[in-house]
Amino acid sequence: MFRNSNFIGLLIGICCFLIIGSPARAVTSDCIEQEAPAAFFVENGLLCLQKITVAEQPGTTFYKAALTWSGPDNPNQFRLLNAEPDQLADQNSPIFSTVDGSLIIPRVDIPRTFGTERYVANLVLVDDEDLSVFELASVALYINPDFVPNVTWKPYGMLDSDERHAVDLLGRSIPYAKLADAVYDFDNKIIDQWVLFEKKDKNSGMQAAVYYNPETDEVVLAFRGTETCDFPCSLSETAEFFLDTAADSLLTFGFVDTQFIDAVDYAQDVVNRAQGRKIIVTGHSLGGGLAQAIGAAFGLETFAFNSAPVPDDFFKDYPRALSPEMLSEIIHVIGDIHDPVSNTDETGKLYQNADHVSSLIQFDFDLKEILPAGLKQLNDLRFNRHSITRLVDNASSLLAIYRDGW
């Protein structure tokens, strides 16, 4: 039996020790602003617990505590660092039993970059001689009872590995989606940490811009997509629209438009001048098709949004720099499942002899599905879902939900 008086005595003793020993207090400072009843931080192996109830004294005794993971040599072991009195418990409060030494954690959060993993965990004291060492007895996925398919997004902690990869990739893509949007207006000279370095406008209709991030020393090559304008259009806007429409029409039959050739020439020039800096390629619509083509031909990481495909014949003159398997790791094609431009080659209704360099990563923002299993019928596709601005807004809203702990 783990006597209640021994455990409480240990808590008081450690508390007094931490008041004197500043190094231990520094280790547990990460727990101070933690709101969840239980959270594990992978980067430092710290397990923060608060509002712990003692099973044998329900409603009267509460503690908060910090445990540290013992490391890979003892992967199931945690050592108690400190404990002190806390306020009232809540629904997911950890429960410690002085009878069997078990520590039940109904929900432990593991914060990640774009969301929070959640598990149910049970720990148990190793023996009654050392009341500071706990062994992990069991762990299971936390099933959120508030999740309703197609009404709420699936909680981040419940996503399978493919869905998690898609969401994390969507999170990584946001800065480049903003640049794929900004390239439609060259007056946008500063976008977050990115600065417009130069712009290129070819007679073929190929338009692109180079952005530079002085903080990371990275370069982004962004291709503009099909140019549209609000009526009445200027003469130059009308000319750009017809050039892009001609390129789109050639894509329909798998022909390589001059814009692709100009894109290769410009990309080679950018690579030559980048002096070894990392280059990321991005684009939307026709610009997404150009971005995919350049990414594949030069072996550059690429983010393409609601993208047109790449003509098969393009790779006859400009072979892929890497194997298809390797390209699938660096060419990311992200789209709204209702978008008609990125989806039409999947339905087989429009494009011939043209395809995406890697598999589409799709989101259904209406039914709240990640990587939806089925494709939409042609008459379910909507041109108002093609907008890069709308895609950025929808993606940002989803990521905000996950960052807030859903």
For 156-204, how does the pLDDT look when each residue is reduced to its tens digit (9 = 90+)? 999 999 999 999 999 999 999 999 999 999 888 999 999 999 999 999 9
Same domain, 319 and 244: yes
Same domain, 197 and 125: no
Residue 147 belongs to some domain of the structure: no
Same domain, 127 and 262: no
Same domain, 165 and 60: no
Report the alpha-carbon distance of residue 361 to residue 163 in Å, rounded. 10
Report the alpha-carbon distance of residue 105 to residue 31 in Å, rounded. 16
The whole-number pLDDT of residue 237 equals 40
Same domain, 126 and 194: no
Tokens of 62: 């509460």
- Asked if the bond preceding 155 is cis, omega within 30° of 0, the reply is no
The whole-number pLDDT of residue 375 equals 75
Q: What angle do CA 76, 79, 83 make, to 5 degrees?
A: 135
Mention every residue, 6+ apart, whose C-beta is less than 8 A from residue 35: none
The whole-number pLDDT of residue 33 equals 79
Task: Give the end of a domain, one of 108, 141, 174.
Answer: 141
Same domain, 274 and 132: no
Same domain, 189 and 331: yes
Same domain, 165 and 89: no
CATH code, domain carrying 205: 3.40.50.1820
The whole-number pLDDT of residue 119 equals 96
Residue 226 near residue 244, CB atoms below 8 Å? yes
Same domain, 24 and 80: yes
Same domain, 287 and 379: yes
Average pLDDT in the 353-366 region? 94
Lowest mean pLDDT among 145-149, 377-381, 389-393: 377-381
pLDDT in tens, 282-319: 999 999 999 999 999 999 999 999 999 999 999 999 99
Q: How confident is the model at residue 35 (pLDDT cuts 50, 70, 90)?
A: confident
Residue 149 belongs to some domain of the structure: no
The whole-number pLDDT of residue 28 equals 66
Task: Give the end of a domain, one of 95, 115, 141.
Answer: 141
Lowest mean pLDDT among 6-10, 109-113, 356-360: 6-10
pLDDT in tens, 210-221: 999 999 999 999
pLDDT in tens, 238-281: 344 334 444 454 454 445 689 999 999 999 999 999 999 999 99
Residue 150 belongs to some domain of the structure: no
Mention every residue, 6+ apart, whose C-beta is less than 8 A from residue 99: 1, 2, 55, 56
Expressed as residue numbers, the domain containing 13 is 4-141
Report the alpha-carbon distance of residue 302 to residue 292 in Å, rounded. 6
Answer yes or no: is pLDDT of 229 > 50.
no
Residue 105 belongs to some domain of the structure: yes
Helices (H), 111-257: 161-182, 235-252
Task: Give the end of a domain, one of 76, 109, 141.
Answer: 141
Report the alpha-carbon distance of residue 386 to residue 341 in Å, rounded. 7
| Strand pairing report for 218-223 and 102-111 | unpaired
Q: How many CB atoms lie under 10 A from the CB of residue 146?
A: 8
The whole-number pLDDT of residue 253 equals 43
pLDDT in tens, 333-352: 999 999 988 886 555 456 77
Residue 151 belongs to some domain of the structure: no
Closest CA to 173 of 129, 113, 125, 94: 113
Residue 319 belongs to some domain of the structure: yes
Same domain, 257 and 397: yes
Residue 398 near residue 365, CB atoms below 8 Å? yes
Same domain, 41 and 107: yes
**Domain total in the chain:** 2
The whole-number pLDDT of residue 156 equals 97
The whole-number pLDDT of residue 123 equals 97
Q: What angle do CA 367, 369, 375 make, to 5 degrees?
A: 85
pTM of the full predicted structure? 0.83
pLDDT in tens, 41-81: 999 999 999 999 999 887 778 999 999 999 999 999 999 99
pLDDT in tens, 95-134: 999 889 999 999 999 999 999 999 999 999 997 677 789 9
Residue 12 belongs to some domain of the structure: yes
Residue 148 belongs to some domain of the structure: no
